[in-house]
Amino acid sequence: MKYLLMVYSDDSLLEALPSGEFDTRMHACITHADELRGRGKLLDAQQLEAPATAKSVRIRAGKTFVLDGPFAETKEYLAGFNLVEAETEEEAIRMAAELPWAQTGCIEVRPVRDFDAVRRRVGA
């Protein structure tokens, strides 16, 4: 089953890291990602630009509204994701715990819905 590991960061905790620690953690994260990819467990991983670069789009009463910035005011923001293949939810949680960013933010683990099943159900 596929799981999305959403990486949430808190800039105040990242900025408090000792000099060079961020790069050390990023190097370990990338190396570990390469190992997981080699085992067929990591399907994709990407970083996101800062929340200030985001646009939020909503349509209400037929009108489109585009707002600058993040969806909500919060200390933690979505910084990236890892799409993984795991046999169980427990395995996905272990993978999330291996990410160094769990120490300076949060890793949300969420199952990916079988979109082909939805497509079939709605006849699309």
pLDDT on residue 66: 87
pLDDT on residue 71: 61
Low-confidence ranges of the chain (pLDDT < 50): none
How many domains are there within the chain? 1
pLDDT on residue 39: 96
pLDDT on residue 56: 82
Q: How far is CA 24 from CA 21, 28, 29, 37, in A?
A: 5, 6, 9, 20
Within-domain flag for 85: yes
**CATH number assigned to the domain comprising residue 89:** 3.30.70.1060
Within-domain flag for 124: no
d(CA 43, CA 60): 35
Within-domain flag for 120: no
Within-domain flag for 119: no
pLDDT on residue 53: 84
Within-domain flag for 58: yes
Which pTM was predicted? Answer: 0.85
pLDDT on residue 63: 93
pLDDT on residue 67: 82
Within-domain flag for 123: no
Within-domain flag for 74: yes
Within-domain flag for 88: yes
pLDDT on residue 55: 83
Q: Count the alpha carbons within 13 Å of 88 in the hemisphere toward its beta carbon.
A: 3
Tens digits of residue pLDDT in 61-92: 999 888 887 666 677 889 999 999 999 999 99
**Residue 26 is part of which domain span?**
2-114
- Burial call 84-106: b when 16+ CB within 10 Å, e when fewer: bbbeeeeebeebbeebbbeebbe
